[in-house]
Amino acid sequence: MPYSGLITLEQFIVDQQSLYKDAGGSLSKIFRSLELAAKMVNRDVRKAGLVDILGNQGSTNVQGEEQKKLDVIANDIFIQALSRSGEVSVVLSEENDDAYFVPGAENEKYVVAIDPLDGSSNIDVNASIGTIFSIYRRPNPQRDASTEDCLQKGKHQVAAGYFIYGSSTMLVYTTGVGVNGFTLDDNIQEFCLSHPNIEIPEDGKIYSVNEGNLASFPEPYQQYLAYCKEKDKATFRPYSARYIGSLIADFHRNLLKGGVFLYPPTQSAPKGKLRLMYECNPMAFLVEQAGGAAHTGEERILQVAPSELHQRVPVIMGSKNMVQKVLEFVEQSSLTTANL
């Protein structure tokens, strides 16, 4: 196939550098390390059925979740790659109880929060999984790195994105100047621009939630889900329920087609299940940059002031008008309660 104007990730980043003030190419070096790690994880994910790396590692992570072997492999690969970038001082990973301080990099400028392999419960059944990353500058690089560097509001992210290991392997990311998608061309092992300027439709006909938890959702969420099922041609209802149980796969579909993703509070998880620093904040940055919205039900996700490395928040995110509709139910309920 002739060189048909392919734009590789490398070329795109260089072109964009002036837009996001990547002084000295530091952020570009981090992206190159993320790209290399993703290609290695992609290689392992693609052969998972052939080599004995399926199944459980036999350990559990800080979340109390059973670690799959690929979880641990992906975690090691990304932490090694980020450490070698020469730009990262601290890595906060879903798989590690504490932040990882890169030896000899105490005064480097960047922090990376990462979910090395999200959706890992889907590994053994060949459903799409992925890596989510979120990048911050350290407020005071002249000081030695500390855990505090990781606890920044999502609105301070300088970049965020995900790699999805699905029917094709893609990178979707933002540096605050829109959202762009790149597809890995296996023949040349390059991520090539395939989805420029992604914008999420303002409305959608898809809702994504684990309805197995319906009985323990707060009333307003139960009312909204009933609303989704009502027949009303004018608002394209009933909507379609689509939920894979892999955040990246559910998010990616809704980003491209429109829809709303919900992980409400439940009795067993009063703050929801998804983690703020390496799941909710990066996805919130992406969806807002694509013209959508992301909310906890009480505040904009990017405004949440973190207090713990692995803290969880409820999530309502996706098409702007659909998120707004959920909030109408939530706010109506709090108004009613307030007037009691």
Q: How far is the CB of 115 from ligand P6P (least distance, A)?
A: 8
Sign of CA dihedral 12, 15, 20, 22: positive
If one asks whether residue 119 binds ligand P6P (CB under 6 A), the answer comes out as yes
Among 2-10, 75-83, 113-121, 180-188, the segment contacting ligand P6P (CB under 6 A):
113-121
Whichever of 117 and 200 has its CB closer to ligand P6P, that residue is 117
Show the binding pattern over residues 68-97: x = contacts ligand P6P (CB under 6 A), - = does not.
------------------------------
If one asks whether residue 210 binds ligand P6P (CB under 6 A), the answer comes out as yes
**H/E run at residue 29:** helix 26-46
DSSP state of 50: T
Evaluate whether 207 touches 228 at the Cβ level (below 8 Å). yes
DSSP state of 212: G
Distance CA 294, CA 291 (A): 10
Residue with tokens 């790699």: 163
If one asks whether residue 324 binds ligand P6P (CB under 6 A), the answer comes out as no
Which of 8, 16, 121, 222 contacts ligand P6P by CB under 6 A? 121
Lookup: tokens for 287: 């969806």
Whichever of 27 and 315 has its CB closer to ligand P6P, that residue is 315
If one asks whether residue 55 binds ligand P6P (CB under 6 A), the answer comes out as no
Distance CA 22, CA 16 (A): 9
Q: How far is the CB of 318 from ligand P6P (least distance, A)?
A: 13
Show the binding pattern over residues 226-265: x = contacts ligand P6P (CB under 6 A), - = does not.
-------------------xxx------------------
* Phi-psi sector, 86: left (phi>0), alpha (psi -120 to 50), beta: left
Q: How many residues does the chain have?
A: 340
Which residues lie near ligand P6P (CB under 6 A)? 118-119, 121, 210, 245-247, 273
